[in-house]
């Protein structure tokens, strides 16, 4: 197997896992807090396929199939809800292959066709987050929380967006609230650690960041933040120890759109994030550590339901990192 083939298979597997994931469920409470009834307006944005060169053949085929399905629906007299689902499915595919602007357009069409469905706000927030537009992402995560105030993932993501905007005071209660719903969320502890770094409360930052590592040993980027905290506290030797252990893997919150999949973690390779699976009702969150591998099929498929990591956070570092004591939000 050549290196290019291995990369293509790995990319297709990561894409498959994300595309196979379900969206956050919508219950009667969500419906009551959203606009009533689907819009009859036609989706106004045309969706173009990205350059398919270099993508695994199954990935190319699913993108083409979904584009054809959209064309047929636009030509037929179908309900706005059905068209919204088709645009949403296309948006998830485009998000997975990092075609973020086209994913944004797809989700906007879906939201326009069915504004009562909170899923499209959720995915729009991620489309904007992936493009580095934290203000727009925050706006849509705020909309999600109006419909689903106990959504732990949305609380953490919104807190992260506020931190990216230099708003730690507003971010702090979001992370605390997330922990009140689920005390095992490493990403919320990381958020509180970053809030403490911004306040130069290094002792408190160390406490939160060490708690995050106890919950998620694979989140190697936490070592960078701990190095910053220890250096701020004047503990240079400990800072050096953690600086040597730093890596690109961040802790992501338990995300409900991954609930229907098997496995313990999913890898978002575009942002080097380890996304934890929220436990199903009646289940306990498993301790982080070595993950049992599931044999992958010989041919990459976008319908995979499993992910096959051998160890949480085993991804190559894409960005060299340096210790920047003046940037508490780095890492």
Comparing CA positions, the residue from 163, 151, 184 lying closest to residue 264 is 184
CA distance 8 to 221: 26
The distance in angstroms from the start CA to the end CA of the chain is 34
Radius of gyration of the chain (CA): 20
pLDDT of residue 43: 64
Residue 326 has pLDDT above 70, yes or no: no
pLDDT of residue 9: 46
Least confident of 47-61, 120-134, 140-154: 47-61
Residue 144 has pLDDT above 70, yes or no: yes
Query: Which pLDDT band, with edges at 50, 70 and 90, does 254 fall under?
Result: confident
CA distance 237 to 288: 27
Residue 297 has pLDDT above 50, yes or no: no
pLDDT of residue 319: 35
Question: What mean pLDDT value characterizes the chain?
Answer: 74
pLDDT of 199-232, one tens digit each?
999 999 999 999 999 999 999 999 999 999 999 9
Place of tokens 């436990």: 279
pLDDT of residue 313: 31
Q: Are 254 and 280 in contact (CB under 8 A)?
A: no
Quote the tokens at residue 77: 């007299």
pTM for this entry = 0.70
User: Per mean pLDDT, which of 168-172, 276-280, 283-287, 325-329 is the most reliable?
Assistant: 168-172
Q: Are 140 and 160 in contact (CB under 8 A)?
A: no
Mean pLDDT of 262-288: 39
Question: Cβ neighbours of residue 45 under 8 Å, at least 6 residues apart?
Answer: 105, 106, 108, 109
Q: What is the 3-state secondary structure (H, E, C) of the chain?
A: CCHHHHHHHHHHHHHHHHHHCCCCCCCHHHHHCCCCCCCCCCCCCCCCCCCCCCCCHHHHHHHHHHHHHHHHHHHCCCCHHHHHHHHHHHHHHHHHCCCHHHHHHHHHHHHHHCCCCHHHHHHHHHHHHHCCCHHHHHHHHHHHHHHCCCCHHHHHHHHHHHHHCCCHHHHHHHHHHHHHHCCCCHHHHHHHHHHHHHCCCHHHHHHHHHHHHHHCCCCCHHHHHHHHHHHHCCCHHHHHHHHHCCCCCEEECCCHHHCCCCCCEEEECCCCEEEECCCCCCCCCCCCCCCCCCCCCCCCCCCCCCCCCCCCCCCCCCCCCCCCCCCCCCC
pLDDT of 42-72, one tens digit each?
567 888 888 888 888 888 888 899 899 888 8
273 backbone dihedrals φ, ψ, rounded to 5°: -115, 135
Query: Which pLDDT band, with edges at 50, 70 and 90, does 185 fall under?
Result: very high
pLDDT of residue 141: 96
CA distance 167 to 208: 18
Quote the tokens at residue 203: 């002792």
Comparing CA positions, the residue from 18, 161, 20 lying closest to residue 98 is 18
CA distance 51 to 98: 11
Question: Could you confirm whether domain 151-280+289-331 is CATH 1.25.40.10?
Answer: yes
pLDDT of residue 250: 87
Residue 323 has pLDDT above 70, yes or no: no
Q: Which CATH number fits domain 25-150: 3.30.420.10, 1.25.40.10, 3.40.50.300, 3.40.980.10?
A: 1.25.40.10
What ranges do the domains of the chain cover?
Answer: 25-150, 151-280+289-331
How distant, in Å, are the alpha carbons of 91, 110, 114, 160 from that of 132?
Answer: 17, 22, 26, 12
């Amino acid at each position: 197997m050549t290196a290019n083939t291995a990369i293509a298979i790995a990319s297709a597997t990561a894409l498959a896992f994300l595309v196979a994931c379900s969206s956050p469920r919508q219950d009667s409470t969500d419906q009551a807090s959203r606009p009533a009834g689907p819009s009859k307006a036609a989706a106004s944005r045309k969706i173009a396929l990205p350059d398919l060169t270099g993508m695994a053949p199954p990935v190319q085929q699913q993108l083409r199939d979904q584009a054809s399905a959209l064309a047929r629906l636009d030509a037929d007299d179908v309900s706005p809800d059905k068209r919204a689902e088709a645009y949403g499915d296309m948006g998830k595919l485009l998000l997975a292959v990092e075609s973020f602007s086209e994913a944004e357009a797809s989700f906007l069409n879906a939201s326009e066709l069915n504004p009562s469905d909170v899923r499209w706000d959720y995915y729009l927030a991620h489309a904007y987050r992936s493009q580095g537009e934290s203000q727009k992402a925050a706006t849509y995560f705020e909309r999600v929380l109006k419909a689903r105030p106990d959504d732990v993932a949305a609380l953490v993501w919104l807190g992260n967006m506020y931190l990216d905007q230099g708003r730690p005071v507003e971010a702090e209660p979001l992370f605390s609230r997330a922990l009140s719903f689920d005390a095992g969320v490493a990403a919320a502890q990381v958020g509180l650690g970053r809030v403490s770094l911004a306040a130069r409360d290094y002792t408190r930052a160390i406490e939160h960041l060490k708690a995050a590592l106890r919950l998620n040993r694979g989140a190697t980027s936490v070592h960078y933040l701990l190095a910053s905290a220890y250096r701020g506290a004047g503990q240079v030797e400990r800072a050096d120890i953690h600086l040597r252990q730093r890596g690109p893997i961040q802790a992501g919150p338990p995300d409900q759109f991954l609930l229907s999949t098997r496995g313990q973690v999913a890898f978002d390779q575009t942002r080097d994030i380890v996304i934890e699976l929220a436990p199903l009702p009646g289940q306990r969150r498993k301790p982080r550590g070595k993950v049992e591998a599931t044999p992958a099929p010989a041919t990459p498929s976008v319908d995979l339901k499993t992910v096959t990591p051998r160890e949480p956070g085993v991804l190559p570092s894409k960005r060299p990192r340096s210790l920047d004591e003046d940037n508490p939000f780095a890492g």
